[in-house]
Amino acid sequence: MASNIGTAVVTGASTGIGALYAEGLAARGHDVILVARNAQRLEATAQRIRDRHGVAVRSIAADLGDAAQLHALETELAADPSITVLVNNAGMGAAGTLEQTDPARLDAIVALNVTALMRLTRALVPGMRARGKGRVVNIASVLAMAPEMVHGVYGATKAFVLAFSQSLRHEFAGSGLSVQVLMPGATATEFWGSAGIDVGNVPREMVMTVNDLVAAALIAFDREEFAVLPALQDAALWENYEGARQALIPNLSTSRIAPRYAA
């Protein structure tokens, strides 16, 4: 185990991507705070990390989609000066189209995937900035770039996560803070069942194991990469995509109507 280098907060940490992220960060010397709804599974994960890595582990059972519980967590975490890493992993989805999905479910998806992620980041960044160091890791999805691949609002929430991360990258420049956005493709986790989707309908060659995904993500964490796409075989494709986006930026606003719209 490496010497302690601060505390990492991981949401959605009872199983899957979050649990493996927490374990990987503990192996790198971080104490960890685990956040999820299921207290029993959360504490089992916490004990496993304590036993394997000898770091301090605290579990906080909280429903981040509940405004009161989110506010309480924000207050508690903002008061902890040891926090150096925030991993915003908690998320949820739904199988249906916009019209097929109950409005309450849509609200819950936005509350967890967008609002909770943004609010926890807002709660922790001031302290990180004051201390001159901190890292935010946001779990998005390849759907951030291709939301039409699935129904409903899930892909749109992940597009927010990518855009938010890009904005934070600009805001953090020169501050000692950094942000990373992980964009998994299809990954074998419990997410599918909770979203009401049968992962068996997805071609096997498209589905990455959660162990492989997080192993790649942690290598990228060590390298301090901004955008992480573990399934993308040709990194030049992302570089071309980002290059095209950057080329658009200086041309997006002008006083002149584009010739194609001129009367």
**pLDDT tens digits, 40-83:** 999 999 999 999 999 999 999 999 999 999 999 999 999 999 99
Considering the chain, what is the average pLDDT of its residues?
92
Measured in whole angstroms, how far is the alpha carbon of residue 83 from the centre of its chain? 17
Q: What is the CATH number of domain 7-261?
A: 3.40.50.720
Q: Is the pLDDT of residue 194 over 80?
A: no
Residues forming the active site:
154
Q: What is the C-alpha separation between 237 and 145, in angstroms, rounded?
A: 12
pLDDT of residue 1: 46
Q: What is the C-alpha separation between 32 and 62, in angstroms, rounded?
A: 16
The residue ranking higher by pLDDT, 244 or 186, is 244
Q: Is the pLDDT of residue 2 over 50?
A: no
pLDDT of residue 263: 83
Q: Is the pLDDT of residue 121 over 50?
A: yes
pLDDT of residue 30: 98
Average pLDDT over residues 180-191: 82
Structure tokens at 75: 């207050």
Alpha helix ranges (H) inside 54-116: 67-78, 103-110
Average pLDDT over residues 247-257: 96
Q: Would you place residue 117 in the very low, low, confident or very high pLDDT band (cuts 50, 70, 90)?
A: very high
Exposure b/e, 152-174, CB count within 10 A at least 16 = b: bbbbbbbbbbbebbbebbeebee
Average pLDDT over residues 103-127: 98
Q: Is the pLDDT of residue 192 over 70?
A: no
- Partners of residue 8 on adjacent β-strands: 32, 85
Average pLDDT over residues 7-15: 97
- CB-count exposure of residue 40 (10 Å: 0-12, 13-18, 19+): exposed
